[in-house]
Amino acid sequence: MARYIGIRLLAMIPLLFAIAVISFAIAVAMEARGSIAGSVCGEGATIECIAQVERQLGLDDPMPIRFVRWLASAATGDLGTSLTNQSVSVSSLIADRIGATLSIVAYSLVIGVAVGMAMGIVSAVRPGGVADRALSVASAALIAAPGFVLAMLLSWWLAVEWGWLSPAGYTRPSESITGWIRSITLPAIGLALPTVALVQRQLRSSMTNALQSRYVLAARARGIRRTSLIGEHALPNAMIPTVTAIGFRAAAALGLTFTVEVVFNINGMGTLLTNAIQTRNVTVLQGSMLVVGIVVLVVNLLVDISYGLLNPKVRLER
Amino acid sequence: MTAPFLEVENLHVHFAGRSRLFRSAMPTVKAVNGISFAIEPHRTFGLVGESGSGKSTVARAVLQLTDVTAGTIRLDGADVTRVPREAELAFRKRVQAVLQDPYSSLNQVHQVRTIVGDGITRHFGIKPGPEREQRILALLDEVGLAGEFLDRYPYEMSGGQRQRVSIARALAVEPGLIIADEATSALDVSIQSQVINVLRRVQADTGVAFLFIGHDLDVVRHVSDDVGVMYLGYLVEQGGADGVYDLPAHPYTEMLIASVPVPDPAAQAERRALRQTFKKDTEPPSPSDLPVGCPFANRCPVAMDICTELMPEATAARHGGHVRCHLHTSGPVLAGESVVPYIRSASTAR
Amino acid sequence: MTRSRWTRAIALLFAFGMAATACGGDETGFAPAIVEDTSTAEAAPVDADEQRDADDTESATAEEEDNESADLGQVVVAEAANCAADLPPLAPGTFAPSGDFSYAISIALNSLNPHDDQTPATFAYYSWIYEGLVRQETDGTVVPWLARCWETSDDGSEVTFYLHEGITFHDGTPFNADAVVANAEFVKTAGPPQVIPPVAGQLGIVDTVEAIDEHTVKFNLAGPGEILLLSGLIRNSGLMVSPASLGNAAAAPVGTGPYAWASSNPDFTQNDLVAYADYWQPGLVGLETVRLEAAIDPVARLDSFNAGQYDAAVVRLNDLDLLLAGDFSSNFTVRIGFVVADWTGQQIPQLANREVRCAMAQALNRQGITAQLNEPDSVTNQFATGPPDYAYIEDLNVPEFDIDAAKARFAATGEEGFTFTNGHLPGGFWPTVSSAWSTALAELGITMQNEALDPPTGGEMFGRLARGAHPVQIIPFNEPNALMSLVARTGEAGFNPSGVSPDGVVELVAAARSKNFADGEADVAAAWKIMLEECIFIVNHTLTTVMAYQDNVQGIHHTQGIPIHFWPHGVTKS
């Protein structure tokens, strides 16, 4: 297993580099629209000002040198300062906001996988039955429905009327654990719905296969208990393809946090990225893209590890 | 003769077909039609037939994995035709199965330790630990696998090794009967004999009875003490293994024998000639649409008119068992003798 | 304003109509009224705000009558006499504030230095930390604040402020004339990387600022423009930042206000303030800690407020009937306008035609656009809008909204549809406005293209207008003041909107430069009348900030969005 993880980690390195290149390139491509120095100097920019800013920020160097310089300082944790406010460092901005996004995405995965698994198992145990059909229809609906709309509807009852959850805003776990949970539940639900549907469908299919397999038949013949059949015999096999689907979904969810963040007034990476695009805040954009890319890589690594834990073929490679 | 461990009487297993949207008729698949046989401890009964003959269904019926439509099954004297929920665990302890496909019959995410051991835990209440491990090692030893196999996963083992693990798994609950359903069919010939030897040894050591199901008459014959030949749900011939093989009383049995190649060229040529007397290209009838008479009639080279009208009853055969064929009661009235000379003469007559 | 005041104003307008020189009364047609704080002599309050409460006081009228009969010069002298009176230094505060307060605000601050951001909505939030020389009341009147009074020179181009003594910034440095000079200089010419600070336009009328002595500071204006100066000082540019911290006030603000900055998260979406004990005097309602939290989505903000997450929240006018509890107060913010002048007279020949401009005015004006902007599903419309009020300008002949009349008028000009580029602020409120207007103009066959500015600051837009880079602009909020300031500053030479008669230009400049309080309103009203009737400037609507607060929040008085009515240091008010 250690070797398996080690190989995966090694594979991350070229990917990291690719992400860095892409982040830098996209941000730099925005320069074509309006130069960074021009942004900083403002409308009444004089030639002297532009030249001075370019010198200060090192913008007059050739692209590869700028890239290497940016990458080198990024490796030490310095991602530069925001273009709209020079006294704000990009890394502090990201550090401030990433907790919210990660909390919501992680929580949405927990909800999505838990509910999806429950639905999938119930469906698979009696395929074609009433429960199965109802749950499959529900899945199809969940894929189609925009999650944040449902979350907003729920928000009216759960948050405003009954006050169980908070309707908007993000409370840090350092301030209050219960407040934190209450603030991320609705946004997580908004993000989780497609995950629920995906997991339900995938698990139903692989679970049905597993339950119809020879080894489950043999286990039945051995008198193995039904719960054990489902949980210990069929489920570990069924989770193998499901985990891959979950990993895919996790990366996608990171990209979808924006809508949820806007609607629930959460200051996370989604709003940071889009604001940076709107205000042409190149440094923030570069740094955010790099960090989000790293997060996605880490998520993929975790998925690979879980896959390895589930599928002995992959992890042992003898 | 000791009391039989397994007794099957007049077993019928029919499956009701699912009604399709635009069809009013619901075809019933008659998988097993009136089978009767018995197996004593220390003995192996071989059930042989083509695919679709219903032999796997018999296995499932005995294992209570399929509902029995009619007939009786008795295990060690107890009626187990329909086992109630409360008695299920005890029942499952007494009869076990080793299935055909070594690649799908073991759970790929479980180690051998778990595969063999969970039956021990379930039936004897011994949690995973040193005591259970001892038992598993003993079982592995019985089937000829070393202790290092405990931590192996199925994909790390060959087909033969997996089947041995399956046998160990079946043995783990200490059953009185093990059903080996095509247990060697997916294996290489050399491995087959290894596994067969394992089965023999297991039987000698533990006294377990075997119901050995296969489609290869040669293999079945080597393994079994008694043999039953199935065709489309009917037991058309049964008797001692050597007897059925040497003196087949049913044309279908003879067809099976003839289809097994032999090393001797002359004998092989003869076999081929014999095979060709059978109408090879004729499809057997569908089990959901069985004819009134003998189901083999349309393929039998020596079929008579009565064969299409009436299903023959069981009559005594020379080898000591039974046969269901009109040839012994009508027409040539072979009266239980081998049917081979008659078919040969019928073929040369053409 | 009572009718009697209006009658008197008009009478004086006729009387002084002949004297079309730079000397005149201090008035502005729409800037808030100026009221002396504690003295008895006061100029006629000018009431030009759209949504102020009709708070006419007969006593004020009585006082006015005294002034109006006085000479112009005497008004100034009377002020100076009051101003020179010595006042003891302020004692430090003794009241201990208590309680926590959380306030959900509608925008995210880019910076905590008010001079970095000209968005008027931010003023309400900066006012917790900073104070200005003057302050605008709910009814629009301007009262002295950090300055205890001011006086204006005869020609109106010098305004001297006398500061309170004994006020210190949160970092302990004294608030004095040098601090005012430092702030003004920062506003006018902050060094790179910002060449023109966004709020520079607000002090456009100012040439230099000098410290006379420790508590006296003089603004030298480009022309007579006391009103214009004050209308700039009531905005972000007038807030006083501690000179020692001007450099990094963007992240660590230091002001003189009731609450000192404690901490913020990196993007200033959560700002924690603590009471500045030195500020608080007995009898004032004060809080111990305040959190200003940005909650940008208005629906979510309302839900949060209804769920009790915040003590107060900015809500949209359209959402008021969705409040589940609590009460609310509202205050107008500013208005926005649309300049259609071809400043250099060169760029878009069609705009030289007054009829074309007036057809545009008719298409753009009033309810038509206001209705569109009041659409409940206009998510970016953070502020409620109201119809403009030109009541202060007599005999105003501004075309009412009438799209059919506008089309007919435009067709009659013989100019086919043309295209012009409008510079505007990307994001937020402005696309709603500009898209509503471009839709209206499209009805006439005129295409308005929007060029997203980079960077987006109102000051920059205004600068472009002044340089002729954009003949047409949506000028936000209080920039009309800056516009008038520019008119006054550049004079006939610089201000040459095509289609306006030379006499009209002269009149307009004169009116812009007028400073007479007594009938000054009429003069500046005259300036606005010209601009509106010549269809150079279309003032469209006002913006209102509504603040909702929970039932248990006591003693709320809403001024510009600040829930507690702060009183000047050392002064109690019943």
Q: How far is CA C468 from the centre of its chain?
A: 24
Backbone angle region of B317, left / alpha / beta, with phi > 0 → left and psi within -120 to 50 → alpha: beta
Runs of H (alpha helix) within chain A:
2-29, 36-41, 47-57, 63-75, 90-125, 130-144, 147-154, 177-211, 214-221, 226-228, 235-255, 257-263, 269-278, 282-310, 312-316
Q: Which residues of A touch B (CB under 8 A)?
A: 213-225, 228, 232-233, 236-237, 240, 310-313, 316, 318
Closest CA to B224 of B180, B176, B190: B180
Say whether A43 and C453 touch across the interface (CB within 8 A).
yes
Q: What is the pLDDT along chain A (318 residues), one digit of tens a residue?
A: 788 888 888 988 999 899 999 888 887 777 655 566 665 655 445 666 667 767 776 677 777 888 888 888 888 888 888 877 777 889 989 998 999 999 999 999 999 999 999 999 999 988 888 988 999 898 888 888 888 888 888 888 888 788 788 888 888 888 889 989 999 999 999 889 889 999 999 999 999 999 988 888 888 888 888 888 888 899 999 998 999 888 888 888 888 888 889 888 888 999 898 888 877 778 888 899 899 999 988 988 888 888 888 888 877 654
Q: How many angstroms away from the CA of B200 is the closest CA of chain A?
A: 22
Chains C+A touching (3+ CB pairs under 8 Å): yes
In a domain, residue A272? The reply is yes
Kindly report the nearest CA distance between residue A232 and chain B, in angstroms: 9
Question: Is A200 within a domain?
Answer: yes
Q: What is the pLDDT of residue B311?
A: 86
Portion 438-497 of C in contact with A at CB < 8 A: 453-457, 459-461, 463-464
Q: How many CB atoms lie within 10 A of CB A25?
A: 13
Residues of A in contact with C460 (CB under 8 A): 42-44
Q: Note the pLDDT of residue A114.
A: 94
C434: Cβ contacts below 8 Å, ≥ 6 apart: C422, C424, C448, C450, C474
Counting as low any pLDDT under 50, the low residues of chain C are 1-4, 9, 11, 13-82, 192-196, 367-368, 372, 376-382, 384, 425-429, 454-457, 477-479, 516-520, 556-574
Q: Is C116 on the interface with A (CB under 8 A)?
A: yes
Tell if the CB–CB gap between B156 and A217 is shorter than 8 Å.
no
The reply to whether residue C267 touches residue A43, judged by beta carbons under 8 angstroms, is no
The CB-side HSE value for B308 (13 A sphere, CA atoms) comes to 8
3+ Cβ–Cβ pairs closer than 8 Å linking A and B: yes
CA dihedral for C480, C486, C492, C496, sign (positive or negative): negative
Q: Given B109, B118, B166, which is nearest A312 (Cβ)?
A: B109
Confirm if C406 and C360 have CB atoms less than 8 A apart. Answer: yes
A213/B108 touch (CB, cutoff 8 Å), yes or no: no
Q: How far is CA C435 from CA A274, B181, C364, C432, C537, in A?
A: 21, 78, 11, 5, 18
- CA of A310: which chain B residue's CA is closest? B109
Where in chain C are the domains?
A: 334-544
- Identify which of B92, B100, B156 has the shortest CB distance to residue A222: B92
Residue-level pLDDT at B315: 86
- Residue B16 is assigned to a structural domain of this protein: yes
Domain assignment present for A16: no
The answer to whether C300 contacts chain A (CB < 8 Å) is: yes
Domain limits for position B266: 247-349
Cross-chain residue pair A217–B65, CB shorter than 8 Å: yes
Shared-domain flag, residues B226 and B326: no
The whole-angstrom distance between A66's CA and the closest CA on chain C is 20
Could you tell me how many CB contacts below 8 A there are between chain A and chain B? 71
Higher pLDDT, B232 or C429: B232
Other CB atoms within a 10 A radius of the CB of residue A7 amount to: 12
Q: Give the per-residue pLDDT at A196.
A: 92
Domain count of the fold of chain B: 2
Nearest Cα of chain C lies from the Cα of A284 at a distance, in angstroms, of 11
In a domain, residue A306? The reply is no
What tens digit of pLDDT does each residue of B196-217 get? 888 889 889 888 999 999 888 8
Report yes or no on A243 lying in a domain: yes
C236-284, pLDDT tens digit by residue?
888 999 999 888 888 889 999 888 999 998 888 899 999 887 777 665 6
Chain B residues in contact with A225 by the CB 8 A cut-off are: 122
pLDDT tens figures, B116-125: 998 899 888 8
- CATH number of this structure's domain C334-544, picked from the four choices 3.90.220.20, 3.40.50.10860, 3.10.105.10, 3.90.1530.30: 3.10.105.10
Question: Do B and C touch, counting CB pairs below 8 Å (3 needed)?
Answer: no
Those chains having 3 or more beta-carbon pairs within 8 angstroms of chain C are A
Across the interface, do C460 and A44 touch by the CB < 8 Å criterion?
A: yes
User: How confident is the model at residue C451, as a pLDDT?
Assistant: 64
Set of chain A residues whose Cβ sits within 8 Å of the Cβ of C309: 166-169
Over the range B243-259, which residues count as b (16 or more CB within 10 Å of their CB) and which as e?
Answer: bbbebbbbbbbbbbbbb
Say how far apart CA C403 and CA A277 lie, in whole Å. Answer: 37
- Here the ipTM equals 0.78
Q: pTM of the full predicted structure?
A: 0.72
Whether residues B117 and B36 share a domain: the answer is yes
Contact A223 B99 (CB under 8 A): no
User: Which residue, among B94, B107, B120, would best test binding to A if mutated, counting the most A CBs under 10 Å from its CB?
Assistant: B107
pLDDT of residue C193: 43
| Residue from C199, C291, C306, C309 to probe the interface with A (highest A Cβ count within 10 Å) | C309
Question: Among all chains, which residue has been given the structure tokens 């309050």?
Answer: C45
CB distance A223–B119 less than 8 Å?
yes
Mutate to test the interface with A, among C302, C304, C460 (most CBs of A within 10 A): C304
Contact A168 C303 (CB under 8 A): yes
Which chains are within 8 Å of B by 3+ CB pairs? A
**3 state SS of A299:** helix
C195 contact residues in A (CB cutoff 8 A): 41-42, 44-46, 49
Which residues are bridge partners to C134 per DSSP? C144
- The partner residues of A5 in beta bridges, in order of sequence, read none
> Does the bond joining A312 to the residue before it have cis omega, within 30 degrees of 0?
no
Distance, in Å, from the CA atom of B88 to the CA atom of A142, rounded to the nearest integer, reads 41
Same domain, B204 and B343: no
The CA distance from A180 to the nearest CA of chain C, in Å, is 13
Of B32, B40, B37, the C-alpha closest to B2 is B40
The DSSP bridge partners found for residue C150 are C161
Contact between chains at B97 and A225 (C-beta distance less than 8 A): no
Chain A residues whose beta carbon lies within 8 Å of the beta carbon of residue B110? 233
- Beta-bridge partners for C168: C174
Backbone angles phi, psi at C568, to 5 degrees: -60, 155
Chain B residues with at least one Cβ partner in A under 8 Å: 63, 65, 88-89, 91-93, 96-97, 99-101, 104-110, 118-119, 122-123, 153, 155-156, 166, 169-170, 173
Which residue is closest to A224 within chain B, CA to CA? Answer: B122
Q: What is the CATH number of the domain that holds A203?
A: 1.10.3720.10
> Domain with B227 in it: what CATH number?
3.40.50.300
Beta strand extents in C352-452 (DSSP E only): 384-386, 419-424, 447-452
Residues B188 and B295 placed together within one structural domain of the fold: no
- Asked whether residue B57 falls in the same domain as residue B180, the answer is yes
Q: How far is B99 from chain A (nearest CA, A)?
A: 8
Q: Which domain holds residue A252?
A: 93-279
Q: In this structure, is residue B239 part of a structural domain?
A: no
> For residue B97, which residues of chain A lie inside 8 Å, CB to CB?
218, 221
Contact A166 C304 (CB under 8 A): yes
Q: Does the distance separating the beta carbons of A214 and B101 come in below 8 Å?
A: yes
Give a yes or no: residue A293 inside a domain: no
Return d(Cα C186, Cα C199) in angstroms, integer: 10
Residue A46 pLDDT: 61
Q: What is the separation of C-alpha C321 from the centre of its chain, rounded to a whole number of angstroms?
A: 29
Do the bridges between strand B177-181 and strand B95-98 make them parallel or antiparallel, or are there none, so unpaired?
parallel
* Chain A residue with minimum CA distance to C270: A267
- Show the tokens assigned to B45: 């009964």
The whole-angstrom distance between A152's CA and the closest CA on chain C is: 9
pLDDT at position B19: 58
Nearest alpha-carbon partner for C205 in C451, C483, C499? C483
Q: How far is C318 from chain A (nearest CA, A)?
A: 18
**B201-223 per-residue burial string, b: 16 or more CB within 10 A, e: under 16:** ebbeebebbbbbbbbbbbbbbbb
In this predicted model, what pLDDT tens digit does every residue of B291-339 receive, in sequence order?
A: 788 888 888 888 888 888 888 888 888 888 888 888 888 888 877 788 8
CA distance to partner chain B, nearest, from residue A278 (Å): 50
* Residue among C111, C307, C427 whose CB faces A159 most closely: C307
From A42, A97, A160, residue closest to C455, measured CB to CB:
A42
Query: Given a contact as 3+ CB pairs under 8 Å, which chains touch A?
Result: B, C
The pLDDT value given to residue C171 = 92
Q: Are both B264 and B170 inside the same structural domain?
A: no
A38, A43, A169 member nearest C196 (Cβ): A43
Q: Which of C196, C248, C295 sits opposite A42 (nearest CB)?
A: C196
